[in-house]
Structure 1
Amino acid sequence: MRFTKHKRHRKIVRFYTACFGFREPFKVLCDGTFVHHLVSNHLSPDTSVSNALGASVQLFTSKCVIEELKSLGSSHAQSFHAARKDFKLARCEHEEKESAFNCMIEIIGENNPEHFFVATQDMDLRKKCRKIPGVPVLFGLRNAVFVEQLPSFQREYVKAAEERRLHMTDSEQKLLQKRVKSILNAEELKDSSNAEEEIDEEDLRGQVIASREPRKTDAKDKVQFKRKKAKGPNPLSCKKKTTSSSAPNAGKADKTSSDAKRSRPRKRKRSRTDKSSSRTDGASA
């Protein structure tokens, strides 16, 4: 049971931190009924409230709430001393004594700019806070402090605020139209200036081309190209002349080549007639 309670409280606190900008340490504005509940059940204000929210807290009350506890007499004497000792004073602009209900509503305002958690046991004050955007409510039950569940009004307010942020307002739409008109006018001026520059460039090109064209004269046209004259043969394609010094070397080369050829042994060819004649000579002998 305790685990599910803390889980539900963390979810509610996360909703207010994400959607309304609540930050630690959380400010808790307490009225006389809540302070009296804590004192009568012997609960320390700081630890009980911080355990319910799961974060560090700063406890506040108002001057009108303290005066109301003082007026209730001895039955609320301990609550009066605890409120004066353990709670900080929220800014209250009432010069004369005001009821705690009206004082708390004026401190919260229309949209709770100070991001207060309201801790009270008064059912009328709890119902009133449910209709103010961004006001979470705490209440005591026996020896524990609980965070009131998210009312449907808070969820619908957040959805409507998100839709308003997505769409443009009338002032933003007018500014956008002015901006678009200024951009279109600037583009038209650029196009006109570019067209004038192109015309000027074409005129300059025509003048340059006209200046480059030759002037017409009555004289006969001169020969533009010269006739090619006959030239000698290409020296690279001609053979070099042989000198006398190269002749002895050439003879030596021929001799060496002929000697090489002669150095080879010659084979003697013998005919059959020689063999037959040699045989007859031997027989006759």
Structure 2
Amino acid sequence: MRLKKQKRHRKIVRFYTACFGFRQPFKVLCDGTFVHHLIVNHISPPDNAVSTILGAPVKLMTTRCVLAELKSLGDSYSESLKAAGKLIAARCDHERRKSAEACFVEIIGENNPEHFFVATQDTDLRKKFQEIPGVPVIFGLRNALLLEPPSVSQRQFVKSSEEERLHMTELEHKLLSKRQKNRLTSKETKDSSDENEALEDQNLGLQAATNENNAKRRMVVKDRVQFKRNKAKGPNPLSCKKKKSQRQPNPASEKEDKDAGKTVRNSRKRKRSRKGKKLPEMDG
């Protein structure tokens, strides 16, 4: 049972933190009836008991009107007055003293701007705060403390506020239309300026190109690579034989050569034998 109660309380706290912006440490506004219930049922220390319900650190607070009301009730509430005097005093901006119920209603207002948890045993006050959005209520049951779940009106308020967030208000629509107009005008001016800049860049590029061409003509610089033509090469000199030197003919030497050739030819003549011719003469 304790686990189920803790889960239920955590779910309720998560609802208020997500939908209404409650933050730790939680501020709990206690009235005289709640403080008296803690003392009668011996629930101490009270801050630990409340923090276990909410699952987070808490600050227990009360008002001057609550202390004045407990003081007016006499000696039977003296212990409750001492315990309430130890709590943090919340600021209530009214000159004359009011009842605790009226003081709490004024502090909470229409939407609970200070994000208070209200701890009370008054059933009428609990029902009244259930109708105000964003007001969680804590009450005691014997020696246990409980956190009331959000009412139907509070859940309906959250649902309607979420639907309103999905749609734009008139002010937001006007602001959006103004922004769109400003963007269109700025875009048109930007496009015109971009066109002018593009024309200027083109002109600068043409001027730079003409200047480069003129400079190249003056300097006679050849941009293209000129390839060398392959000419017919001669034979490898190392693989060729050396030429023989031709001597000039000498007439005297030529004659000597001719005479030498005749002598050689004469010497080479065959001598014929005449033995056969002499024989018939001898017989005659």
Please give the alpha-carbon distance, in whole angstroms, between the structure 1 residues aligned to 2:156 and 2:110: 16
What does 1:1-285 correspond to in 2, within 5 Å? Answer: 1-44=1-44, 45-85=46-86, 87-193=87-193, 234-236=231-233, 242-244=241-243
Shift of 1:71: 0.8
The one-letter amino acid paired with 1:46 is D
AA in 1 matched with 2:189: L
The alpha-carbon deviation at position 148 of structure 1 amounts to: 0.5
Bigger mean CA offset, 40-49 vs 112-121:
40-49
Over 3 Å counting, the alpha-carbon distance change for 1:145 and 1:234 in structure 2 is closer
The letter for the 1-side match of 2:48 is T
Per-residue CA distance 1:14-68 (angstroms, 9 max, x = gap): 1112222222221110111111111111212223212222222111110001101
Q: Cα offset for 1:101?
A: 0.6
Q: Deviations over 1:239-272 (max 9, x none)?
A: 7674237xxxxxxxxxxxxxxxxxxxxxxxxxxx
SS at match of 1:98: coil
2: CA distance, partners of 1:46 / 1:194 = 68
Q: Distance in 2 between matches of 1:55 and 1:182?
A: 49
Match of 2:267 in 1: none
Distance 1:170 1:237, change over 3 A: farther
Distance in 2 between residues matched to 1:129 and 1:180, nearest whole Å: 44
Shift of 1:234: 4.5
Relative to structure 1, the CA distance from residue 109 to residue 191 in structure 2 (aligned partners, 3 Å threshold; closer, same or farther) is same
For the pair shown, the structure with the greater C-alpha radius of gyration is: 2
Give the length in aligned residue pairs.
Answer: 221
Unaligned runs of 5+ in 2: 214-229, 245-284
Q: Distance in 2 between matches of 1:22 and 1:132?
A: 15
RMSD after superposition: 2.8
TM-score (norm 1): 0.69
What SS is found at the alignment partner of 1:140?
strand
Q: Distance in 1 between matches of 2:191 and 2:92?
A: 64
Query: Would the alpha carbon gap of residues 199 and 109 (structure 1) be closer, same or farther in structure 2, given more than 3 Å must change?
Result: same
The residue number in structure 1 matching 2:259 is: none
Going from structure 1 to structure 2, the CA distance change for 1:199 and 1:236 (only over 3 Å counts) comes to same
Aligned counterparts of 1:39 and 1:111: Cα–Cα separation in 2:
31
TM-score relative to the length of structure 2: 0.69
Identity %: 58
